[in-house]
Amino acid sequence: MTIAEELKKFPLFKSVELNELEALASMMQQQSFPQGAVLFEKDQPGDAMYLIRTGRIRVFLRDPQGNEITFRHFGPGQVVGEFALIDDKPRSASAEAAEPLEVMTLSREHFLALLRERPILGVEMMRNLAERVRYTTNYLEKLFSAINLLVNSEYEQAIKEMSITTDEDEIQNLINAFVQMVTKLREREAALNQAALRSEDKRI
């Protein structure tokens, strides 16, 4: 199977003709990462996207105490960091290789060159990216709002913020994982408060 044929299997390129993908393949870089390798950190410039061939990528954030909160894993056939190609903004989360990883990367520089040299390819990619942006933006906004509530220990409001449903399994799994995490944090804080009260009673 050629690289172009492999690219055709990614949803991002589902409507792109094979001859256009051959040009794209020549601009992509193949990379390997060992387990635990950091691909990028939150707030770093978003300058490339990663197409996973084998292995998995873990996407996570760190809370104010430095604890890592895993939001999801991406596997073969999925893309990470595609928004970096169009918004030129810093990374919104960190990512590392959850296991030995092989990816194909496309830099923002090469993507912009494609827009100039092969407008049809660029338009098709932009259309597929736009579909994903429209579908996920609302949920991502709710997620970051809920994280801010969580930092302030507003657990009930954080759960309420994420109490939504969607037909996209990936986003729904993210929502469910977040709600479960908040529930556990709330239970742990309640247990600590009870232990503190019992300790106070004994001293009295």
Query: Where are the domains positioned within the chain?
Result: 3-203
Give pLDDT, residue 102. 97
Give pLDDT, residue 56. 95
Per-residue pLDDT of the chain (204 residues; tens, 9 = 90+): 888 888 888 887 877 888 888 888 888 999 999 999 999 998 898 889 999 999 999 998 887 777 788 878 899 988 898 877 777 788 888 999 999 999 999 998 888 888 788 877 777 777 777 666 655 555 666 666 666 666 666 766 766 665 654 445 555 555 555 556 556 666 766 676 676 666 655 555
Give pLDDT, residue 167. 47
**Biggest distance spanned by C-alpha atoms of the chain:** 80
Give pLDDT, residue 46. 86
Q: How many CB atoms lie within 10 A of CB 1?
A: 7
Q: What is the CATH number of domain 3-203?
A: 2.60.120.10
Give pLDDT, residue 94. 92
- C-alpha neighbours within 13 Å on the C-beta side of residue 156: 1
